[in-house]
Structure 1
């Protein structure tokens, strides 16, 4: 039997991979997405917290309201747990029922014409005169690696590899409510989250609590979620004695774009390409945008609209300022100065502009000074 032939094979059914395939299918090209998981909602690594801009992505058009919850504020805590409530007019974050969201994204892709092969792991790809032969899948003119920060496509094809990570852990608690459900609670603490932070948020199904710290190769030190939950219990009402209903953990890329990101007729997208903010490690919005841009670029090549030597990848951001802030956070984080500075008006202004993408408005006073 002759192997199937596609215009593009995408490895990985995450945000970036499905956005890429969706853009191709929208232009009438045959895109196949493969993913090693039989159920896209299993073993989810992403937090599923969306910035407002992510909802403008074509892939998320028609997102069922039951899968998301609006969170219009951020409450930022210093190491001593003194906090400030931040917000911007008209801006909000969205928490999600992440497993259900991933299943819906897969179904949405299929409804738009994407061929999705669940339970199909990427093993190898061989270059041919007309594209790529992907073992166990078929032949395609282009190959896209959207298989995460530990991309096997990048490994097999000799493309750039992500080499800077955070180690993250997240607990899900079903059916409970926070004392302040309309805020994304963010905790700065060198003790519990060196190089990053902890977070707690109300979701459509309950509460999620996460913690991430710098990852050092060879280190076996995991984030101390039990200690963290005990530390923040007076603020959130969560207790370390409540067993989580689900746990997810993994490495979060934070080093910025990889190089090379493409070779021949293969390209990396999303986390596999390092298209994640070095400062916040937020990758959903970047993945959706980058995946769609790659999809449109491939469509132009396939339709003959782009010259043969034209790049199929959009310009890559340098993240220079965010890389600088990442370096400073990695090397200059101390709890005592954070206790003093984090609620100071100039620092709060900067933090709010970073949180709300330069939409910072009126700054509220710290707790106790409203």
Structure 2
């Protein structure tokens, strides 16, 4: 039976980034994912924010044009509020290609990536799969999504507050649509969240998300209705791709680690509670997770694991969790229309710009990373 230092369950961005960093620390790393192709089952629009673009080395050729303009629409969709930044705030990635790039980087660092292998369960470091022989792992990293089975098996916290999202992706003719981010606030189509249209230079992304208990007709029906006349959309050309899945919005989970393993990405609740953005958090927490795992496996000191503490990270989310709860309670289109009217004032526009263009979407993990410099 094969033995590895670290088994990573899930070959999304969080899992592959963590695997690469651990392999670079001379640990034996295996990654498993039940998908047979990394282009299947994509659950993210792939919007990278400026802070991520500044701090991480993302492949530029896989990113669409910079987006500086955000248009906020009330339910009536009349007179949207235009917010313009003096720098590129968003770029949309070709996520299938980004995952493949991350896979090659992990394998180049020495990690072994196995697709078409479904994690079954773990007990005392003995891990069973459907599609491969069991392995013994010193440590397990759960990167298996919002409803993580690894989290349950390890007795760690699990996500309990979700939005559910769905998206249509279709080809467009480059240069036919402006690089703008259209956001429609309307609880009839996206209760507790918004509908969006954005393009990556080659594809248009049209989506909705909201609380499932309020989506009376189902997310797919709401998406189709929204896509029929969504603002800023380009006429579909060619085959249509659909994406969708749960989005955890309860904030970073408190209990993220134990002597047998830890959680990263959506499994850890590493998603901004208000904006539901998860790509920046997954990269940042993956860097901290890799440092903690390496330190723990090197020393065997469980105090190292305490540095991966969700309770401490949640303190930065207090304001956004309160705004999330307030936003969730607005179910009347008239109330949203009034709220958007308030955003037209100077103070309202400043608040909207701070949320959409600010740098504070996720806690800075660098001070914690500095404690593990000797394990890099």
| TM value normalised by structure 1 | 0.86
Query: Residues 163 and 310 (structure 1 numbering): CA distance in 2 closer, same or farther, change over 3 Å?
Result: same
Q: Deviations over 1:288-318 (max 9, x none)?
A: 11111101111112233x7443325434322
* Aligned residues of 2:258 and 2:305 also touching (Cα < 8 A): no
CA shift, 1:183, in A, is 1.4
Alignment of 1:91-170 (within 5 A): 91-127=88-124, 132-135=125-128, 136-170=133-167
Equivalent residue, structure 2, for 1:75? 71
Query: Structure 1 CA distance, aligned partners of 2:253 and 2:215?
Result: 21
CA shift, 1:243, in A, is 7.6
| TM value normalised by structure 2 | 0.85
For these two proteins, the number of residue pairs brought into alignment is: 347
3-state secondary structure, aligned to 1:252: strand
Query: Structure 1 CA distance, aligned partners of 2:43 and 2:115?
Result: 17
3-state secondary structure, aligned to 1:54: helix
Query: Structure 2 CA distance, aligned partners of 1:66 and 1:226?
Result: 28
Query: Structure 1 CA distance, aligned partners of 2:239 and 2:274?
Result: 28
Q: Higher relative contact order at CA 8 Å, sep ≥6: structure 1 or structure 2? A: 1
1:335 aligns with 2:336: yes
Query: Structure 1 CA distance, aligned partners of 2:20 and 2:214?
Result: 36
Query: Structure 1 CA distance, aligned partners of 2:269 and 2:239?
Result: 30
Q: Deviations over 1:266-304 (max 9, x none)?
A: 111111011111111111110111111101111112233
Equivalent residue, structure 1, for 2:371? none
Query: Structure 2 CA distance, aligned partners of 1:154 and 1:307?
Result: 21
Query: Residues 287 and 160 (structure 1 numbering): CA distance in 2 closer, same or farther, change over 3 Å?
Result: same
1:227 aligns with 2:225: yes
Alignment of 1:237-248 (within 5 A): 237-238=233-234, 245-248=240-243
- Structure with a larger share of its residues in helix: 2
* Aligned residues of 1:69 and 1:203 also touching (Cα < 8 A): yes
Which of 242-251 and 23-32 deviates more? Answer: 242-251
CA shift, 1:177, in A, is 5.5
CA shift, 1:230, in A, is 3.3
Query: Structure 2 CA distance, aligned partners of 1:56 and 1:92?
Result: 10
Which of 5-14 and 332-341 deviates more? Answer: 332-341
Query: Structure 1 CA distance, aligned partners of 2:194 and 2:239?
Result: 20
Equivalent residue, structure 2, for 1:263? 258
CA shift, 1:51, in A, is 1.0
Query: Residues 119 and 90 (structure 1 numbering): CA distance in 2 closer, same or farther, change over 3 Å?
Result: same
Query: Residues 111 and 36 (structure 1 numbering): CA distance in 2 closer, same or farther, change over 3 Å?
Result: same
Alignment of 1:281-360 (within 5 A): 281-304=276-299, 307-311=301-305, 313-316=307-310, 317-318=313-314, 319-332=317-330, 334-358=335-359
Which of 162-171 and 202-211 deviates more? Answer: 202-211
CA shift, 1:254, in A, is 0.8
Equivalent residue, structure 1, for 2:46? 48
Q: Deviations over 1:30-69 (max 9, x none)?
A: 11111111111111111111112223555xx361414443
Cα RMSD for the two superposed structures = 2.4
Query: Structure 2 CA distance, aligned partners of 1:219 and 1:147?
Result: 28
Equivalent residue, structure 2, for 1:89? 86
3-state secondary structure, aligned to 1:216: helix
* Aligned residues of 2:145 and 2:265 also touching (Cα < 8 A): yes
Query: Residues 115 and 203 (structure 1 numbering): CA distance in 2 closer, same or farther, change over 3 Å?
Result: same
